[in-house]
Amino acid sequence: MSQFYVTSTPEALGQHVSALLINKIQQQPNLVLGLATGSTMLPVYASFVRLATSLNLDLSQVTTFNLDEYIGLLPSHPQSYTYFMQHQLFNHLKSQPKQCLLPKSQAPDLQAECRNYSAALKNFGLDIQLLGIGTNGHIGFNEPLTSFASRTHIVELSNNTRQDNSRFFTNKDEMPTHAVSMGLADIMEAKEVLLLATGAHKAAIMAELYASQVTENLPASILKNHPQAKIIVDEQAASLIPAAGLIRL
């Protein structure tokens, strides 16, 4: 059963989550870490870089897997998730992880790439997975009505998601229509999951998630079936959740 936690600001959330991740890496240097993209992760990665640098943290045995990647953008495109990870996290770390994996959405045989990605996830075993959430409740790019049994797959992005994410594209025609995403069954196999949300624009979906049954209409609700899922939100994203349902960090 997932529990909802609240921090004062996105920066406080970033500090809390990065300290938690670094603590795990110190305890288990070969941690398998599932990473996410999106604005929610920016304070997490900024704080992670500061803390890792000040501690001289050795990441050389860590493996990272990202949740998803757009189809049709080169890795060098500023809106690709490969570019995001390099520029928001990896380029700033003194010690590099052993391997940093993202779905290879340029692969000539994408179905084979999806199967290989799920097989690699199973093989390594995710210790902890970070997640953001879309305003329609998607996690990774698993849109509403995605099967809970899904593995890494090709996704057609919903109009809602294309609308939300088009803010990052100066030329709207460049906004991809498809992506490769870890499936919900892949995510649920992580030993621990942290779902993060910040900002007033996430308040409605977080209140919906708080009240929701487990249903494929709301992909993030699957986390209520996970034994080690924490949902961490800032004050603004928590504003429509009853205070009694929140643990203050």
From 5-13, 88-96, 119-127, 130-138, span contacting ligand GLP (CB under 6 A) = 130-138
- Start-to-end CA distance of the chain, whole Å, equals 18
Residue 68: active-site member: yes
Cα–Cα distance for residue pair 100/65, rounded to 1 Å = 6
> Which one of the listed residues 16, 138, 153, 226 is annotated catalytic?
138
Q: What is the DSSP letter of 108?
A: S
Strand extents, DSSP E, the chain: 3-7, 32-35, 63-66, 68-70, 99-101, 128-131, 153-156, 178-181, 192-197, 229-234, 246-248
Which residue's CB is nearer to ligand GLP, number 44 or number 241? 44
Written as six digits, the tokens of 195 are: 């779902």
Report the residue from 10, 34, 43, 140 that binds ligand GLP according to the rule CB under 6 A: 140
Which residue's CB is nearer to ligand GLP, number 15 or number 37? 37
Q: Would you list the DSSP string of 43-89?
A: HHHHHHHHHHHHHT---TT-EEEESEEESSS-TTSTTSHHHHHHHHT
Residues numbered 67 to 96 that lie near ligand GLP (CB under 6 A) are 67-68
By CB under 6 A, tell whether 177 contacts ligand GLP. Answer: no
From 43-51, 93-101, 116-124, 131-139, span contacting ligand GLP (CB under 6 A) = 131-139
Which residue's CB is nearer to ligand GLP, number 126 or number 133? 133
Shortest distance, position 244 Cβ to ligand GLP, whole Å: 26
Question: What amino acid is encoded at 198 in this protein?
Answer: T
Report the residue from 66, 161, 221, 236 that binds ligand GLP according to the rule CB under 6 A: 161
**Residue 28: CB partners within 8 Å, gap ≥ 6?**
127
From 4-12, 71-79, 87-95, 128-136, span contacting ligand GLP (CB under 6 A) = 128-136
Residue 143: active-site member: yes
Residues numbered 19 to 58 that lie near ligand GLP (CB under 6 A) are 36-40
> Which one of the listed residues 66, 136, 142, 165 is annotated catalytic?
136
Cα–Cα distance for residue pair 78/87, rounded to 1 Å = 9
By CB under 6 A, tell whether 132 contacts ligand GLP. Answer: yes
Residue 87: active-site member: no
Report the residue from 4, 45, 84, 141 that binds ligand GLP according to the rule CB under 6 A: 141
Tell me which residue of 130, 101, 99, 182 sits closest to 20, measured CA to CA.
Answer: 130
Task: Enumerate binding residues for ligand GLP (CB under 6 A).
Answer: 36-40, 67-68, 132-134, 140-141, 161, 165
